[in-house]
Amino acid sequence: MKYRLHAIIAVWSLAMAVHAQDIDLHAYADERLVAAPDDTSWTRGGFGKARYGDGRTRLHFGGAAIYGSVQITPELLALGQLQYQTSGHSGFSLLEAWLRYRPVSTTPWRWSLRAGVFFPPVSLENEGVGWTSPWTISSSAINTWVGEELRAMGGEFQLERRSEANSWELRASLFRRDDAAGGVLASRGWSIGDLVSGIGSRLREANAGVSEEGGTLPRYYDPFRNIGRSHWGDYAAITWHAPGETRVSLMHLDNRADPAASAFYADGDRQFAWRTRLWSVAGRTDTGSLTWIAQWMDGNTRSEQSADQPLSTHFRAAFVLLGWNRGAWRPALRIEHFSARTPSANADWRQSEHGNAITAALNWRPRDWLRLTAEVLRIDSMATVRAEYGLPARVMDTQVQWSMRVFY
């Protein structure tokens, strides 16, 4: 509890200090009561799909984050986000930090360039401070993975065509240091939670796999690093905007990692690169007081950890979220499906998983600075990797959370 208080004080002190520079500033701190499922969570080296998983009901620190942006000149904008977490590899970490140059335009066309560390334009769900969702505590399986393993460190070009009826925007990026992206989906599959990896944070590997290899527990890896030869990944996205909040986006991403490359941990074990390519389609619209968000992702990740037995995992997920704007009250319901499959002639390497999840949340915001949320998450999944270690292949987990989030 002492460290949670110190984190909150640190974030708020930073917020007040930066606010003196007359910038746009937001922050939050989250405390929650969680009734966790029995499965050991992936954050503690297990195969559980939810963020928490010890079968107990107790208080947890959900995290804290600060967002700040400053318009240095009419053309130049700087933005950064910092978070603090006590789950997983805890501590402070940088979520994103970038500088954008966008000349003032008097025509329907407008272009911009930004450079730094940023999230690829995948999500229409996670648009809050600290890359959180305003509708639910837990992100969808798609955006849980994006928050864990996808980050662009490089540059992005954006071209916009604006009109009164609608507008279009095209984004294209070259980035580096994301060679591990896809390893989570191949090794332990999809998960559903709200932990976001920051630059300098670490993701935990499954205890069972590390023990089988004779490694030392716990073992963490850096999701944002170059592995092997120098190269640039890329993504391209096109988005159509209609009046209001209606948007439809199509994106393709390829991290162009060398699937045969590897790097060493401090203990001498190897971390392998994963060549990951994906397509994502997302849409959002409002119908009266209802907000609809939907997303579909399909991709493949490949690693040549063995010269005679390359691994190729095909992954797919989709969700639909319905939110109801009722003033201070905002109920939300999300339904999703996810799957991953690693076919192989060798039965020891062959894996598959599929599952469904339903998330129901009720948000109450009696003050601008306070949001209270109750959330029930139900996950029904089947994964062959669990059976390999003597665990039930099919598991139905229920996680209940009550969150109190304070905003600045």
Inform me whether the pLDDT recorded for 20 exceeds 50.
no
| pLDDT classification of 36: cutoffs 50, 70, 90 | very high
Closest of 322, 350, 156 to residue 235, by C-alpha:
156
Q: State the pLDDT at residue 10.
A: 45
Pairing label, strands 262-264, 290-303? unpaired
* pLDDT in the model for residue 88: 65
Q: Higher pLDDT residue, 175 or 16?
A: 175
Please give the pLDDT value at position 164: 84
Note the pLDDT of residue 307: 67
Residues 355, 149: Cα–Cα separation, whole Å: 21
pLDDT of residue 57: 96
Burial string for 232-252 (b: 16+ CB within 10 Å, else e) reads ebebebbbebeeeeebbbebe
Whether residue 8 is predicted with pLDDT greater than 70 in this model: the reply is: no
On whether the CB atoms of residues 294 and 319 are closer than 8 A, the answer is yes
Per-residue pLDDT averaged across 303-326, rounded? 90
The dihedrals phi and psi of 335, each to the nearest 5 degrees, come to -120, 135
Residue 17 per-residue DSSP state: H
What is the structure's pLDDT at 386? 92
**pLDDT value at residue 251:** 98
Banded pLDDT at 305 (limits 50, 70, 90): confident
pLDDT given for residue 3 in this prediction = 44
- Residue-level pLDDT at 267: 63
Q: What is the mean pLDDT of the chain?
A: 91
Q: What does the pLDDT look like over 236-256, one tens digit per residue?
A: 999 999 988 899 999 999 999
> Quick one: pLDDT at residue 145?
97
Among the residue ranges 266-270, 303-307, 392-396, the one predicted with the least confidence is: 266-270
Which tops the pLDDT comparison, 152 or 213? Answer: 152
- Predicted pLDDT at 343: 86
Calculated CA dihedral for residues 87, 88, 92, 97, nearest 10 degrees: -110
**Domains defined for the chain, CATH in brackets:** 27-59+105-407 (2.40.160)
pLDDT of residue 266: 62
pTM of the model: 0.92
CA 178 to chain centroid, in Å, comes to 14
Of residues 180, 208, 200, 162, the one with CA closest to residue 45: 208
Q: Say how far apart CA 356 and CA 337 lie, in whole Å.
A: 4
Residue type at position 97:
A
